[in-house]
Amino acid sequence: MTYEAIDTEFEDLLRTTLHEMVPKLVASTPVVEEGDGHGAVVVTLSSRRVRTSGSRRAAAAVLAVAAIVLGLIVIATRNTDGVTPGDSPSGADGGVPAWYDMIKPSLPDRFPFAALTFANDAQLFFVAVNPIEGKTLEIQLASNEYSTEPTTTVDATGAWVESDQGWSVKTPSGLFVSVTCNIGVGGRDYVGPTNYCDMASAGGFTKADIHAVANSLATSLTLSIFDAGLRVPAVDPIDVDAAEGLARSAFPGVQFGVAGFPQSDEIINSGMVDANPIGTAPALTNVVKADTSIRLLSGLYPIPTLSDPVSMALYEDAAVIWQFGPGGVLVRISTTDPSPQSDARLQQLTQDIVALIPTSPDANPTDAITPPATTTTLVFADGSNPAVVGVVVVDASGRSLGSDFAQYLQTNGVQVLSVIPATTSSPETMLQPLEADSHSASQLDLLLQVGGFDTFTPTEIDGELPKGATVVVVLGADGGPPAYRGSVNTTNTAIPTTSIAGLQDVPAFNELATTTTASLCDSPGALPTAVVANASRVNDTATWWTNTLGVNVVDVHFADPVNAVARSDHSRVVALSSSDCEATKIARYTTATAVDFATADELQALVLGPLPSGTSIVVLIGNDNLSLATTGVTTTSNGF
C-alpha cells in the first residue's frame, strides 16, 4: 500500500468520523455544563449562564420558557401606579426632600445618593446608590406587606426574614422594612445574585451591614410615614424607548425589553425572543442573552454632578458600568459578560444613553455633590487587599526580560513574589492560575490582556514555587503580553538597531505559537538558509531586517537581502515545510500572522533574482513592518 493510499484511507476515516459525530454534537440533546463552582451541575438547553437554585430564579426560568412558548419578549408591563406629579428631585421648595431626611440617618455613608422611586398610601420604594462600586440598596417600606417566607429570627425590632439579597423585618406595629443590595445583573433576577454585594472583598457590604440598615429604618420610622404625603418627584429625564433603541443597535440580534418599574426607575433587560417568530428577521431569532441589564434611575438626591468618564466595577463574572447624568440621573448597565469587547461597547452605550438626557438649567445646581472620581474599580474576591497577590514570573523569554516585566507588574499594583528562570524557553507569554477559582489570574488578565489561561507544570522551573503563589506568568520570547509590549513601546522611542526591544509590539506570534508543538522545533538538522525580501514601499527594509534577524535568530543562516517581486501591505514568512520550526521562530519578529508553506519553485517566484542554494525560508517584509523596522533609526527620512 502506498503512502498516498494510506493517506486516503485515513482521510476517509476522518470524513466518516466527522459526518457521523458533528451532527450528534449539535443534536437536540441538552448540553451539560459544569456548575458555578458550588458543586452543582446545570442542564441547560440554551443559556450558557444559567445559575442554580433559588425560587425567584426558578420562577424566572418558568417565565422565560413561557415567553418562548408564547412568542413574547419577556418582561412585565410598565407599572405607573403610584407615580404622580410631586416634588422636584430637590423637594417642592428646592430644599432637601422630606423623604430624604427621613431615611438619610439610616443610610451608610457609602450610599450617599438616594431616590424615591415609588410611593402610594401603603408602600414606598427607595434606592440608594454607591458611586464607588456601582451597587444599589433597594429599600421597601410597607404597611400592608405579608410575607409567606418563614421567619429567620425574632428580636425586639420584629420578625426577620433573610433572603438571598438582604433582610426584611416586620415590626410589632406593622411596619414592613425590606433592604436588599445588588449590582443589577439582569437575566437572573433584577436584584442579582447574593454574592456580588455580600462578598467581603467586593467593598464589603455584607448581610450584617444590610441588617443594620433595615434595623435602623425599622426602629426610626413608624407607619406615620405613609401619611406624610410623599410622592415620587415629577421627573422626565430619559426617553426610555430611545434608550432601548440604543441598546438594540449596540447589540444587534439581542432583544431588550423594559421591565416593570416606576417611571423614575426603568430597567431595560436583554431578553429572549421566540425561537420561531413569524415575520421577524431570522438573524434576530433564538437569541438568548439575558445577561445585560440597563437601569435608568432618576430623582437622585443630592444631585450628583456628571461623572465623566464612565465608571466601571469588575466583579468575578460580571461588570457594572455607570454614569451620572444631568439632573440626578443614574444610568447603570450590568452584565454577566465582562469581556473587554463587551465592556467597551457597554461604556459607549452608557454614554450614549446619558446623552439622551435633556439638560435643564437645574441639572447641575451649584450645591451638587461630586461623586468620588471612579474611573475603574477593580473588586477582587481574594481578600481585603484590592491587588493581585502572589504572582510568580517565570522568565522563559530567553533574554532575561523578567526583572523589567516584574517591575511593570509591581507598578501596576501587582505583588510579585519572585522572578524565576524557566528551564526551557516559551514562544509566547502565558498566564497559569494555580488556584481552582483562577480569580487572581482573571484580574491579572485584565491588566495584561493575554487572553487565555494555560496550565502550570512543575517542570517549567527548577525547584518549587514560593509559598503563597497564586498565579504564574510565563514571560515568553514574544517579550510579554500585548498590554506590556504596548507600554514598553510607548515609553521607549530611541531603540538601538541591535535591540529586540523595538520589536516587542508584534501582534503576530501568539496565535501561531499555540499550534506549534515543541517536537516540531526540536528536530535536529542542518541550519536552514533564509532570505529576507523587501516587499515594502521603502528601499532598504530588507537590510535592516536581515541585521535584526541575524542578531536575534541565531540558528538560521541569512543570505543577502533581495527585492520581492511584488510589494505588499502585509509581511509574510514563507517556507518549505521542512523548515517550519525555524520559520516560526522568525515569524515572531515580524507582523506575519502565520508561516505559509510553499515549494522551492514557489519560494523562488516570490523574489527577483535567483535564491541562494539551499534557501528554505523567505521573509517578505511588507508595509506593516515599516514602523517596526524604522523604530529608532533616524538617519534618513525614509528611515535608512
Which residues from 536-555 bind another protein, rule CB under 8 A?
537
482-491 and 439-448 are packed helices; what angle lies between their axes, rounded to 10 degrees? 40
Residue 107 to residue 410: CA distance in whole angstroms: 37
* Cα dihedral 297, 302, 303, 307 sign: negative
**Piece in contact with another protein (CB under 8 A), picked from 78-86, 181-189, 399-407, 436-444:** 436-444
Q: Which helix (H) or strand (E) holds 558?
A: strand 557-558
DSSP tag of 372: P
Question: What CA–CA distances, in Å, run from 566 to 549, 602, 634?
Answer: 22, 14, 27
Interface residue with another protein among 327, 402, 433, 481 (CB under 8 A) is 433
Interface residue with another protein among 333, 595, 611, 619 (CB under 8 A) is 595
Interface residue with another protein among 224, 366, 515, 613 (CB under 8 A) is 515
Interface residue with another protein among 223, 594, 604, 640 (CB under 8 A) is 594
**Piece in contact with another protein (CB under 8 A), picked from 13-21, 152-160, 409-417, 485-493:** 13-21
- The residue length of the chain stands at 640
Identify residues 446-465 at the interface with another protein (CB under 8 A): 451-455
Interface residue with another protein among 8, 10, 53, 228 (CB under 8 A) is 10
State which amino acid sits at residue 121: D
Residues 6+ apart with CB under 8 A from 67: 73, 74, 271, 272, 274
Residue 449 to residue 432: CA distance in whole angstroms: 13
Residues 6+ apart with CB under 8 A from 56: 164, 189
What are 567's three cell numbers? 510589494
**How many other β-carbons are positioned within 10 Å of the β-carbon of residue 108?**
15
x-marked contacts with another protein along 564-583 as a string, rule CB under 8 A: ---xxx--x-x--x--x---
At its nearest, how many Å lie between another protein and the CB of residue 330?
A: 29
Interface residue with another protein among 171, 590, 623, 631 (CB under 8 A) is 623
**Piece in contact with another protein (CB under 8 A), picked from 17-25, 120-128, 216-224, 376-384:** 17-25
Residue 618 to residue 595: CA distance in whole angstroms: 10
Identify residues 92-121 at the interface with another protein (CB under 8 A): none
Under the binding rule (CB under 8 A), the answer on residue 400 touching another protein is no
Residues 6+ apart with CB under 8 A from 60: 188, 189
340-354 and 240-250 are packed helices; what angle lies between their axes, rounded to 10 degrees? 150
What are 482's three cell numbers? 500585548
Nearer to another protein, 156 or 281 (CB): 281
**# of chain residues touching another protein (CB under 8 A):** 71
Nearer to another protein, 597 or 640 (CB): 597
Under the binding rule (CB under 8 A), the answer on residue 339 touching another protein is yes
Under the binding rule (CB under 8 A), the answer on residue 522 touching another protein is no
Interface residue with another protein among 194, 195, 286, 425 (CB under 8 A) is 286
What are 579's three cell numbers? 523548515
Identify residues 179-218 at the interface with another protein (CB under 8 A): none
Interface residue with another protein among 8, 13, 222, 527 (CB under 8 A) is 13
Q: Which helix (H) or strand (E) holds 331?
A: strand 329-335
For the chain, what percentages of helix, strand and coil (3-state, to nearest 5) are there? 30, 20, 50
Question: 443610610: which residue's cell?
Answer: 107
CB 91 within 8 A of CB 97: yes
Residue 122 to residue 117: CA distance in whole angstroms: 14
At its nearest, how many Å lie between another protein and the CB of residue 7?
A: 8
Interface residue with another protein among 17, 55, 79, 634 (CB under 8 A) is 17
Residue 425 to residue 422: CA distance in whole angstroms: 7
At its nearest, how many Å lie between another protein and the CB of residue 43?
A: 11
Nearer to another protein, 50 or 331 (CB): 50
Question: What CA–CA distances, in Å, run from 606 to 240, 574, 623?
Answer: 59, 9, 16
Under the binding rule (CB under 8 A), the answer on residue 437 touching another protein is yes
Identify residues 225-284 at the interface with another protein (CB under 8 A): 252-254, 281-284
Under the binding rule (CB under 8 A), the answer on residue 521 touching another protein is no
At its nearest, how many Å lie between another protein and the CB of residue 367?
A: 45
Interface residue with another protein among 264, 438, 591, 631 (CB under 8 A) is 438
**Piece in contact with another protein (CB under 8 A), picked from 118-126, 389-397, 542-550, 589-597:** 589-597
At its nearest, how many Å lie between another protein and the CB of residue 284?
A: 8
CB 321 within 8 A of CB 343: yes
Interface residue with another protein among 16, 222, 360, 418 (CB under 8 A) is 16
At its nearest, how many Å lie between another protein and the CB of residue 380?
A: 17
CB 475 within 8 A of CB 397: yes
State which amino acid sits at residue 215: N
Nearer to another protein, 219 or 593 (CB): 593
At its nearest, how many Å lie between another protein and the CB of residue 56?
A: 22
CB 266 within 8 A of CB 295: yes
At its nearest, how many Å lie between another protein and the CB of residue 116?
A: 39
At its nearest, how many Å lie between another protein and the CB of residue 283?
A: 4
Nearer to another protein, 37 or 71 (CB): 37
At its nearest, how many Å lie between another protein and the CB of residue 126?
A: 37
Residue 515 to residue 571: CA distance in whole angstroms: 20
Beta-bridge partners for 294: 268, 333
Residue 171 to residue 143: CA distance in whole angstroms: 10
**Piece in contact with another protein (CB under 8 A), picked from 123-131, 149-157, 437-445, 539-547:** 437-445
Interface residue with another protein among 520, 600, 605, 608 (CB under 8 A) is 520
At its nearest, how many Å lie between another protein and the CB of residue 388?
A: 16
At its nearest, how many Å lie between another protein and the CB of residue 352?
A: 17
